[in-house]
Structure 1
Amino acid sequence: MINLVRIDHRLLHGQVAFAWTKSLGTDCILIANDEVAKDSLRMSALRMAAPSGVKLVIKSLEDSIKALNSGATDKYRLMIIVESIKDADELTKQVTTIKEVNLGGVKAENGKKQISMAVFVSPEEIERLKDMNDRGISIEVKMVPEDKGQNAIDLIK
């Protein structure tokens, strides 16, 4: 069962590893990221950040989609982490059981608009968020479980 799909450019870090997994009772974290799946050094660093007792799986986006759609992940209380809005858009298009996305962190770059303390979006990302919303995906900006969530679509208007 998917407990949370989170967009966070930092992927796995203390805030995610401990606050979210504890709050949700997560027993498996799936990092769906093409670059990390090919980088043994980054994989090693992420494995060190995983909380004790929580399984960490790192797969390409395509392999993650296949695993999610095959039912292989159904036995876990799963948190999925993607690095970008683009990856979340693709994931939600191909895994139709995903109806909610947590927008936790998107880094500041030139040409991006700040919509919350840790979320900066480009015009292309805004269009992707609107498209996800139009497909019935709820997108909530929320850094930690204790925060009051905000609807991303309301913030980008």
Structure 2
Amino acid sequence: MSSETERELIARVAALPLQPFQFGQYEGKRRVASFGFRYDYSLRRLQDADPIPAWLRPAINAVEAFGGPGTRIGQVLCTEYDTGVGIGWHRDKPHFDRVFGLSLGSACKFRFRRTAAEKWRRFTLSAEPRSLYMMSGPSRQVWEHSIPAVQAPRYSITFRTMAERNS
């Protein structure tokens, strides 16, 4: 994508009514807005969220084309990471299938880990601005991922397909 498109998407995300990420009784430092569905950590289930905005449709079309035939995005999460903010080790909830992430603004290290006998096997991916990554299969089901504190403001748009049992 062009730098101009990146700037437009960042402006759109920054203009959303972003809220601190709620993880049950805890509040994360990153700010988010969910569309289509959101996961409620207190209730431990998916909840309906606002409809996906029309301005995301061109990005969704590109992600669905990248994902191949049958790829249908059902949930979008827009996230703002201020300088010094990251995200801890986790796997996305099983309600979702494939996960696509569009990295905007600052580059970040995208870390992966999984158990290997008594140790951790680790891998780091550099998520450059305007890059798109996809997690499916083992990278989605077996490996955990995290992002250490970013050095400059970063935005991401996460696009998720729904798991078969939830569609």
Normalised by the length of structure 1, the TM-score is 0.31
Larger Rg: 2
Normalised by the length of structure 2, the TM-score is 0.30
Identify the structure with the greater helix proportion: 1
Identify the structure with the greater strand proportion: 2
